[in-house]
Amino acid sequence: MKKTNFSSLENLSEFTARHIGPRDADLPAMLKTVGAQSLDQLIDQTIPAGIRMKKSLDLQEGQTEGATLARAREIAAQNQIFKNFLGQGYYGTMTPPVILRNVLENPGWYTAYTPYQAEISQGRLEAILNFQTMMMELTAMPIANASLLDEGTAAAEAMTMAYHVSDNVKADGSGAHTFFVAESCHPQTIEVLTRRADPLGIKVVVGKPESFAFSAETFGCLIQYPDTRGQIPSSVDALKAFTANAHAAKNLVVVAADPLALTVLQAPGQWGADICVGSTQRFGVPIGYGGPHAAFLATKEEFKRSIPGRLVGVSIDSEGKPALRLALQTREQHIRREKATSNICTAQVLLAVTASMYAVYHGPEGLKRIAQRVSRLASVLPTA
């Protein structure tokens, strides 16, 4: 029996053979349809020579799938996991194993795209609706969208939304162009707001809320609740007074809130906020090397036509039974293009579903207990 070396027994082309593509027998018919004699001729006819490489890619020898996975594990094993004390919107959390297995690691969830076909997406739409309902209850706002990219961009969307609906901004673009941001907001949020505002002609003023004077030259403000240091005002009356001053000058109040803190604090909607944004990362979503993590935006009913992102609504099907569908999404750039009032490109919906299932898993009392434990540990740490 002839001896065979081991390398010849390796099937390095296994992945290529399993790839869904044209078989050799299919190529002649396909080339005949497009009027080409060969694949090389087809490439010559479709791709300009000026943008094509003149030589082959310098690639290493191919590996089997098993060898590639082994190498990936070898590289991953070099990671060192440290305790995270960053804060500022990024917190260590525990994803319940049942959510990890059935949602976060389930291809039925993590490969899903926008549920445009409601008739085959009722399960996903229900999970997203659960997210919206959760944020409405936590913020005490009548409407919440179906998640956004992260807290910083959600705050920027809230700023531009306030700019579009403010009475201090005229239809011709004249009037107020100043947006106040409390210096106690997360630094990354301030950075994103500043960068987003510049090309829009919006002036961002960063300072202390208690000393800022609202006027007809300003259209809104952003405050953090709790702030980036974990502090909250001594009483809700101070927040109500600040909001009243803003409203007296026809300014909108945007609040960047921690949803876990909202389980024990008075909700922004109860003390007059117009828009509430924030990150849901601490609702069981892994830090994931810094995100992004699903954010939320909740607001008043009167602003629903200007809210960024998507909204899932409850409707009825052809048989008169309750059914879910995407209710509002006309302001997005993929539909309205240059007339869009939003630049939403992703909703991080997998992480939004994870956060909503985390809330279902723990329930209202469980979430409140976690929040109280976090608060207690934070108060003990300085004296440890």
| pLDDT of 17 higher than 90 | no
pLDDT of residue 7: 67
User: Token pair for residue 262?
Assistant: 């909202």
Amino acid 294: pLDDT: 93
pLDDT in tens, 29-53: 999 999 999 989 999 999 998 898 8
What local confidence, expressed as pLDDT, does residue 13 receive?
67
* Mean pLDDT computed over every residue of the chain: 90
Q: Transcribe 270-331 into DSSP letters.
A: GGT-SEEEEE-TTTT---GGG----EEEEE-GGGGGG--S-EEEEEE-TTS-EEEEEEE-TT
Q: What is the pLDDT of residues 87-143, one digit of tens each?
A: 899 998 999 999 999 999 999 999 887 788 888 899 999 999 999 999 999 999 999
What pLDDT is recorded for position 65?
A: 80
pLDDT band at 341 (very low <50, low <70, confident <90, very high): low
Residue of 84, 93, 85 whose CA lies nearest to 359:
93
Partnered with residue 205 across adjacent β-strands are 180
Residue 156 CA from chain centroid, whole number: 13
- Those residues whose C-beta lies under 8 Å from the C-beta of residue 15, and which sit 6 or more positions away, are 65
SS3 180: strand
Q: What is the structure's pLDDT at 66?
A: 84
Task: Give the span between the Cα atoms of 351 and 56, in whole angstroms.
Answer: 40
Nearest Cα neighbor of 188 from 289, 87, 81, 307 is 87
Q: Is the pLDDT of residue 368 over 80?
A: yes
Encode pLDDT of 317-334 as tens digits.
889 999 999 887 655 555
At residue 2 the predicted structure's pLDDT band, cuts being 50, 70 and 90, is low
Rounded average pLDDT over 281-292: 89
Give the model's pLDDT for residue 55: 87
Can you say how many angstroms the Cα of residue 381 is from the centroid of all Cα atoms in its chain? 31
Confidence band of 345 (pLDDT split at 50, 70, 90):
low
pLDDT attached to residue 170: 87
| pLDDT for res 34 | 93
Handedness of CA 182, 183, 189, 190 (dihedral sign): positive
- What's the pTM? 0.84
3-class state of residue 139 by DSSP: helix
Tell me the percentage of the chain whose pLDDT exceeds 90. 66
Rounded Cα distance between 50 and 54, Å, is: 10
CATH class of 97-383: alpha beta
The band of 201, judged by pLDDT with boundaries at 50, 70 and 90, is: very high
Please, what sign has the CA dihedral across residues 93, 98, 100, 102? Answer: negative
Mean pLDDT computed over 72-90? 89
Residue ranges per structural domain of the chain = 14-47, 97-383
pLDDT at 337: 63
